[in-house]
């Protein structure tokens, strides 16, 4: 079980002339919760659809639980849970009927967990799915994907459009189940705060490219905001080097975003870049700030 | 419901924030020896944090001697030699650092800060 839950290398996908994915590489370690961030149209859903064998890649490799994603069939989906943003459900069934219908397909179905989740997610068992709100439907879809303790759970924008109460139920149900099993979670999201709390691995996409893919701790450690004070507002422009993603200057103050911060060594390097530098003051960045800084860098 | 208070803020590791909150709850008597400490699962759910992070928190506090896993019961808060004044003051380090940084930014002297501190102290005691 030490192989990555997902492994992607040099993955590309084009729709006619449009390159939706370019040379994407990532790895989701077993037992981790991987959060994939990026704007609409960045290619998150395309990537997930390739992983779930819903569309073919144009090139490269995508492996899920050690198997090429293009070979995934019903047998593999007994170990993989998948909930998409607009999850289709058999609308004429009640929640109880849906669960009774699904259970025989999954050898690992956990009846005890299923009833715990029903209670925790506060789902009405007898109401038909078509009469449920969108949030309730999402919770029903999550429940049916958690009840068999999947080795991998894939969620495409699980929180979008959910009210705060449903969102909290959803997150708690998810985390409680993950805490008790060794399964991995791969989810795309626009919700940076939720990802910062829940995930231990983060990927950040810009249209077509996966710009960042690494442990959250490491990302939060290496990005740093540094405020540099210059001797005077007239000091000439300074070259801060390739590790500085952003430099916003206002008079004698420059705000830098450094992407490989290494404590005193980095500050010394910055001070040595110009004799106009008088002081430096560094502070940590939230995932949201890092995301925004990356979004604003022009892709070369 | 957790027996200690923590509002996790983005920007610094949840791991550090929770450990700090637990140590504080312990030193101020909110967590007492013999109290049950939440499981990894409860911690993860209640705080909505990654289960691996919750696991790391429990492991850290166990290694520190604050918690002990008792088979069949769960994780229990331990009695450790009552925190010395020095142990307790460690909890203030971060706040003190912030205060000093702000004071220096405003180019206040140490004596001015001490005086302001005394005033606030008297207001409360």
Q: Where are the beta strands (DSSP E) in A1-151?
A: 6-15, 18-28, 33-37, 59-64, 67-68, 80-83
Burial of B44 (0-12, 13-18, 19+ CB in 10 A): buried
d(Cα A272, Cα A209) in Å, to the nearest integer? 34
* Per-residue pLDDT band at A55 (split at 50, 70, 90): very high
Which tokens go with B103? 């004071």
Determine contact, residues A106/A78, Cβ cutoff 8 Å. Answer: yes
pLDDT in tens, A185-211: 999 999 999 999 999 999 999 998 999
Determine contact, residues B22/B56, Cβ cutoff 8 Å. Answer: no
d(Cα A260, Cα A282) in Å, to the nearest integer? 13
Which region, left, alpha or beta, applies to residue A38 given φ > 0 means left and ψ of -120 to 50 means alpha? left
A168 — contact with chain B (CB < 8 Å)?
A: yes
CA atoms within 13 A on the CB side of A120: 24
Q: How many A/B residue pairs have CB atoms within 8 Å?
A: 58
Q: What is the pLDDT of residue A181?
A: 83
d(Cα A12, Cα A10) in Å, to the nearest integer? 6
* Per-residue pLDDT band at B86 (split at 50, 70, 90): low
* Per-residue pLDDT band at B93 (split at 50, 70, 90): confident
Unique residue bearing structure tokens 């405020």 = A227
Q: Is the whole-model pTM more than 0.90?
A: no
A10 — contact with chain B (CB < 8 Å)?
A: no
* Per-residue pLDDT band at B74 (split at 50, 70, 90): confident
pLDDT in tens, A71-116: 999 999 999 999 998 788 999 999 999 999 999 999 999 999 999 9
Interface test with A, best of B10, B15, B16 (most A CBs within 10 A): B10
Unique residue bearing structure tokens 């390159």 = A19
Please answer yes or no on whether A175 and B48 come within 8 Å at the CB atom: yes
- CB atoms inside a 10 Å sphere around CB A173: 22
- Quote the ipTM score: 0.80
What is the Rg, in whole angstroms, of the alpha carbon atoms belonging to chain A? 23
Averaged pLDDT for residues B52-73: 90
Residues 30-49 of A with CB under 8 A from B: 31-33
Please answer yes or no on whether A193 and B10 come within 8 Å at the CB atom: yes
A286 — contact with chain B (CB < 8 Å)?
A: yes
According to DSSP, residue A200 is labeled S
d(Cα A248, Cα A259) in Å, to the nearest integer? 15
* Among A37, A20, A67, A19, residue whose Cα is nearest residue A214: A37
Q: Which residue of A has its CA nearest to B40?
A: A179
A287 — contact with chain B (CB < 8 Å)?
A: yes
A180 vs B37: which has the higher pLDDT: B37
A217 — contact with chain B (CB < 8 Å)?
A: yes
Number of helical (H) and strand (E) elements in chain A, helices listed first: 9, 14
pLDDT in tens, A224-247: 999 999 998 888 999 999 999 999
Q: Indicate the average pLDDT of chain B.
A: 85
């Amino acid at each position: 079980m030490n192989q990555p839950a997902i492994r992607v290398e040099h993955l590309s996908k084009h729709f006619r002339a449009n390159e939706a994915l370019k040379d994407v590489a990532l790895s989701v370690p077993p037992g981790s919760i991987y959060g994939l961030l990026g704007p609409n149209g960045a290619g998150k859903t395309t990537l997930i659809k390739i992983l779930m064998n819903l569309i073919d890649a144009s090139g490269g490799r995508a492996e899920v639980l050690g198997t090429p994603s293009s070979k995934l069939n019903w047998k593999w989906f007994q170990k993989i849970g998948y909930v998409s943003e607009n999850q289709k459900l058999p609308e004429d069934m009640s929640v109880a009927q849906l669960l009774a219908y699904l259970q025989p397909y999954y050898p690992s179905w956990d009846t005890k967990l299923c009833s715990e989740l029903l209670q925790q997610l506060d789902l009405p068992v007898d109401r038909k799915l078509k009469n449920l709100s969108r949030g309730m439907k999402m919770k029903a879809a999550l429940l049916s994907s958690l009840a068999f303790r999947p080795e991998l759970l894939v969620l495409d924008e699980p929180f979008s459009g959910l009210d705060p109460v449903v969102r909290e139920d959803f997150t708690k149900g998810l985390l409680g189940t993950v805490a008790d099993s060794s399964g991995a979670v791969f989810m795309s999201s626009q919700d940076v705060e939720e990802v910062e709390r829940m995930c231990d691995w983060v990927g950040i996409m810009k249209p077509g490219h996966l710009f960042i893919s690494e442990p959250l701790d490491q990302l939060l450690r290496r990005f740093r905001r540094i405020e540099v004070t210059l001797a005077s507002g007239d000091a000439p422009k300074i070259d801060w080097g390739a590790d500085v993603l952003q430099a916003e200057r206002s008079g004698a103050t420059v705000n830098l975003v450094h992407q490989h911060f290494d404590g005193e060594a980095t500050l010394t390097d910055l001070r040595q870049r110009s004799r106009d530098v008088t002081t430096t003051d560094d502070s940590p960045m939230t995932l949201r700030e890092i995301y925004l800084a990356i979004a604003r860098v022009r892709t070369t | 419901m957790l027996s200690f208070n923590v509002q996790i803020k983005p920007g610094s590791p949840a791991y550090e924030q929770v450990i700090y909150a637990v140590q504080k709850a312990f030193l101020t008597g909110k967590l007492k020896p013999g109290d049950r400490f939440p499981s990894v699962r409860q911690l993860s759910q209640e705080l909505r944090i990654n289960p691996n992070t919750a696991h790391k928190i429990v492991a850290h506090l166990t290694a520190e001697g604050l918690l002990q896993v008792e088979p069949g019961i769960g994780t229990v808060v331990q009695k450790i030699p009552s925190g010395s004044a020095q142990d307790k003051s460690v909890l203030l380090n971060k706040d003190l650092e912030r205060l000093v940084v702000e004071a220096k930014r405003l180019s206040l002297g140490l004596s001015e800060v001490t005086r302001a501190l005394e005033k606030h102290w008297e207001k409360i005691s």
